[in-house]
Amino acid sequence: MTTLALDATPGPARRTLAAFAGNKLALTGALVLLALLAFCFLGPLIHPTDQIHTDLSQTNLAPGAGHPLGTTDLGYDMLGRLMHGGRTSLEVGLAAGVLATLFGTVYGAVAGYFGGWADAAMMRVTDAALAIPALFLLVVVATIVTPSKPVLILVIASVAWLSPARLVRGEALALRGRDYLHAMRLMGGGGGRAVFRHILPNAVGTVMVNATFQIADAILYVAYLSFLGLSLPPPAADWGSMLSAGITYTQVGHWWLIFPPGLAIVLVVAAFHCIGDGLRDAFDVRLENLGRS
Amino acid sequence: MGVCGGRLCAPLGRTVAAVLFGFLALVGCGPGGNVVTRLGPTGGTPVEGGTVTMALPPAATPNWIFPIGAPGYLAGYNSAIQNLLFLPLYLPEKKGDALTMDSPRGLAEPPRYSDGNKTVTITLKKGYRWSDGKPVTTRDVKFWFDLIQHNKQEWAGYSPGLMPDDVKKFEITGDRTFRLRLDRAYNPAWFTANELQDVVALPVHAWNPGHEGPKKTFARLMRHARRFSRFATDPLWKTVNGPWTVEKWTTSGQVSLTPNKKYRGPDTPHLDRVILKPFTTADSEFNVLRAGGVDYGYIPPSVMARSAAFKQLGYRIDPWEGWAVTYIVLNYHHPAAGPLLRQSYLRQALQHLIDQKAISRVIWHGSAAPTLGPVPASLLHGEPYPYDPERARTLLAAHGWSERDGVLRCVRPGGGAGECGTGVRRGRELRFSLLSQSGSTETANTMQAIKSEFGKAGIALDIRQQPLNTVLGTTVPCKRTEPLCAQWQLGFFGTQGSWYFPPDPSGEKIFATNAPSNMGSWSDRHTDRLIRATEYSDDPTALCDYGREVARRLPVLWTPNPAYQVSVIRNDLRGVDQNPTLTLAPQDWYFVTADGRKGGAGA
């Protein structure tokens, strides 16, 4: 009987997944994200366009046959450009968000677990970096170096890791006094084992939730930089640079140059936020208990 | 769990707010704005005083006040400001369709040529004083001459054989008259327009009170000139003889000028203050203009179709056509790209790939016109290398270039007929990098269109955009061994025209060997001979011969020449004359009001 009862109890991962699946808004976010990924990466197979060469005979055409979302000021098909630009935004945003989360998580865990002077020194570095406005730093760096995908990823990640570092450090401080960590130390376990086998797995919920927000923020950073003219050199495009280029034509009513990239940015950022919030609720034990009571 | 359960409301609320904000911002981007004046472009009663804010070109930061320009500081807005502080002896003046050198703003009477055009006598106009009360004399002009004569390599305006090399002797014959003995007879019109226009009086009593030698003095002045954060406070720059003095000069490039109270010329200022305001991009300027933040600005070519909206707000639209040509500079001394660029067939192929007419019409919305050669189009016979991609491909294929992986590679190296050319090794890719100025959508799109056409023909072009001052500081003449020379292959700084002709549009400063603005270091004996002919002979065919030959030889790649700007000026601001040589004369500007009372904007 006892064995049967234990088998019937779902594991934490399954419980988390079930809670996430029960959150309609989080599911909507995930579906929107999947749809956008499919649009950007599979869309060009259905709607192939030339996004390399300009066509000055087809500029600024309004949406219509052949060009469902019209054309740009250089004759690029707008629908194809949206797919092409979305790849850059998503690739850079995802990579920068993940990189920032990984580095910030390890940094924060190490600082929180070891404490003392190491924690003080590492956190002062974080505080100092947080004191510099991120956008200012991004603009300065992007002006000095020629933007490319790897450069954008590194530059954005270099300012985005601070938030997960502080968050995970707090988790590590709370976890380091737990009995199982004392036991591990008594059995001869080192700092590395404590951080990577005990602290990080126990902070995974916080990290995953934060990662989704980091990715959303990184996508916005890409848009900011591109909007300020610090995007990848042409013919590469991303949603921010498309929005920036379209703003020029606001005065002459070329709405199709502005709304599609603007809407795409809003959708992808909102989708990540919904997923992040859904994950947070799913990982939150107290909410889970409240739901059952 | 409901939609707004727990902490979900916060991100959702932010998202909704962002969407609403974005939508409202876009809706607000219409041609709306406040009416700045109800007056039309004519009528009203002139009033004294007021402040005018004028927009500087996109990404332009004034950074040089010393009237002797250094390489890399040749931007037109620098010299326009200098001319308001330190009067040149001669300034160009538009009369009808022609440019003359007898502007009443100049410091000197018209020059007198004698001795078979080998001597020129110049008399300074009466009554001019420095702002400290001392009279302007010929010793001030001699001071300028000594400085450039002993430091000519440091002067950006120096071209071997020209000023000061062509002056054998500078003779002072009185406080107001001096004589230049020239090394040979010159074409008087050319000499006045292109040589004497550089001459300026500098306050020797204030700048060299210790009577130091010209080299030491020049070095000291250059040290001061490089500290542009102190232009407004350094006592050195306070002694001026022009109608304006510097009130503020910020490191971001905003310059504020106030009238020189001691100025006694014919054009004393009417305004209290003129502010020259920098902008990083044309779009940011446009936004400030719509908000009423500038009195004299410009609109991007993309919104020319909606210029009527500005007229309703109390502005007049006045395109400012420059006396200019526009081109992409080729660095013949670049260690890797130089051997390629020296091949004339390759330059011809590149020029055949630039669709100037389409770029002018589509990207510049008709506010640019194709550049055909180094002189005004009326002196040329059509376009030697019109847009013809097929001809370009044929030229390249006929000289040993074959496409692999989308890029042309040299398969027949050597200097013979049908080969890639001297210095081009087998397997060499046809790939260039272009350093282009930032801040303009039209320029970015032009470069993208050129890159696209080059790409279709198998020529890779990597474009890097930088602010104008960075481009001007990088694309300077260089020796093959200098590290700077390896930093750029092709350069573009022509959003508002690359080269503004001197009143006599000869080429001694851009295409003569070692000329100061010969950024790509083009050197050709035949071109030099033709340029010299324009300097010595007053035969009008000399200029045509020079223009046609250089158009054919392609020392640069010609690109559409845009209007300097499509100006938008408040209707109540009058006296604005948009000189095609881009000189400024804010001393002529004044406000009008309906009733003649001082007030309203700018007062």
Q: Each residue of B194-223: pLDDT tens digit?
A: 899 999 999 999 999 999 999 999 999 999
What proportion of chain B, given as a percentage, has pLDDT over 90?
65
Distance from first CA to last CA of chain A, Å, rounded?
A: 25
pLDDT at B315: 92
pLDDT at A10: 65
pLDDT at A142: 66
pLDDT in tens, B306-361: 777 888 889 998 889 888 999 999 999 999 999 999 999 999 999 999 999 999 99
Tell me if A94 is assigned to some domain.
yes
Q: How many distinct structural domains can be found in chain A?
A: 1
Q: For residue B33, what pLDDT band results from cuts at 50, 70 and 90? A: low
Instruction: State chain B's mean pLDDT as an integer.
Output: 89
**CB contact, 8 Å: B445 with chain A?**
yes
Q: Please report the DSSP string for A171-196 in residue order.
A: HHHHHTTSHHHHHHHHTT--HHHIII
Element (H, E) at B10: helix B9-27
pLDDT at A7: 53
pLDDT in tens, A107-141: 999 998 888 899 999 999 999 988 888 778 877 77
Q: For residue B1, what pLDDT band results from cuts at 50, 70 and 90? A: very low
More confident residue, B302 or A220: A220
pLDDT in tens, B426-454: 999 999 999 998 878 899 999 999 999 99
Tell me if A1 is assigned to some domain.
no
Residues of A in contact with B31 (CB under 8 A): 251
pLDDT in tens, B556-566: 999 999 998 98
A52-80: average pLDDT:
94
**Overall CATH class of domain B225-321+568-593:** alpha beta
Instruction: State chain A's mean pLDDT as an integer.
Output: 85
Residues of B in contact with A250 (CB under 8 A): 26, 29-30
pLDDT over threshold 90, residue B42: no
Give me the CATH number covering residue A215: 1.10.3720.10
Residue whose entry in the numeric block shows the structure tokens 């190491």:
A118
pLDDT over threshold 90, residue B117: yes
Does the distance separating the beta carbons of A269 and B355 come in below 8 Å? Answer: no
CA distance B500 to A247: 31
- Taking the CA of residue B553 and the nearest CA in chain A, the distance in Å comes to 28
More confident residue, A43 or A136: A43
B122-140: average pLDDT:
96
Tell me if A111 is assigned to some domain.
yes
Q: How far is CA A174 from the centre of its chain?
A: 26
Tell me if A22 is assigned to some domain.
no
Tell me if A102 is assigned to some domain.
yes
The β-bridge relationship of strands B327-330 and B557-558 is: antiparallel
pLDDT over threshold 80, residue B471: yes
pLDDT over threshold 70, residue A271: yes
Give the domain range for residue A250.
28-33+76-292
Among chain B residues, the shortest Cα distance to A58 is held by: B362
Domain ranges in chain B? 225-321+568-593, 324-562
More confident residue, B332 or B160: B332
pLDDT at A185: 79
Domains B225-321+568-593 and B324-562 share a fold: no
Tell me if A270 is assigned to some domain.
yes
Interface test with A, best of B24, B312, B442, B452 (most A CBs within 10 A): B452
Count CA atoms within 13 Å of residue B424 on its CB side: 30
B568-578: average pLDDT:
94
pLDDT over threshold 90, residue B96: no
Topology of domain B324-562 in CATH is Dipeptide-binding Protein; domain 3 (3.10.105)
Closest CA to A73 of A252, A233, A265: A252
Does the distance separating the beta carbons of A73 and B445 come in below 8 Å? Answer: yes
Neighbouring residues of B564: CB distance < 8 A, sequence distance ≥ 6: B320, B321, B322, B324, B496, B497, B578, B582
- pTM of the shown model: 0.75
The β-bridge relationship of strands B51-58 and B273-279 is: parallel
pLDDT over threshold 80, residue B302: no
pLDDT over threshold 80, residue A84: yes
pLDDT at B134: 95
**CB contact, 8 Å: B11 with chain A?**
yes
Which structure tokens are listed for B267? 């054009």
Instruction: Name the B residues in 41-100 with CB < 8 Å from any A CB.
Output: none
CA distance B377 to A29: 60
pLDDT over threshold 50, residue B401: yes
Interface test with B, best of A248, A272, A281, A292 (most B CBs within 10 A): A248
Tell me if A240 is assigned to some domain.
yes
CB atoms within 10 A of CB A140: 11
Does the distance separating the beta carbons of B355 and A248 come in below 8 Å? Answer: no
Interface test with A, best of B14, B286, B445, B492 (most A CBs within 10 A): B445
Among chain B residues, the shortest Cα distance to A291 is held by: B1
pLDDT at B210: 92
pLDDT at B468: 82
Residue whose entry in the numeric block shows the structure tokens 């938008």:
B568
Tell me if A8 is assigned to some domain.
no
Three-state DSSP state, B215: helix
Does the distance separating the beta carbons of B441 and A233 come in below 8 Å? Answer: no
Residue whose entry in the numeric block shows the structure tokens 């180094």:
B374
More confident residue, A221 or B134: B134
Residues of B in contact with A256 (CB under 8 A): none
Residue B88's DSSP bridge partners are B200
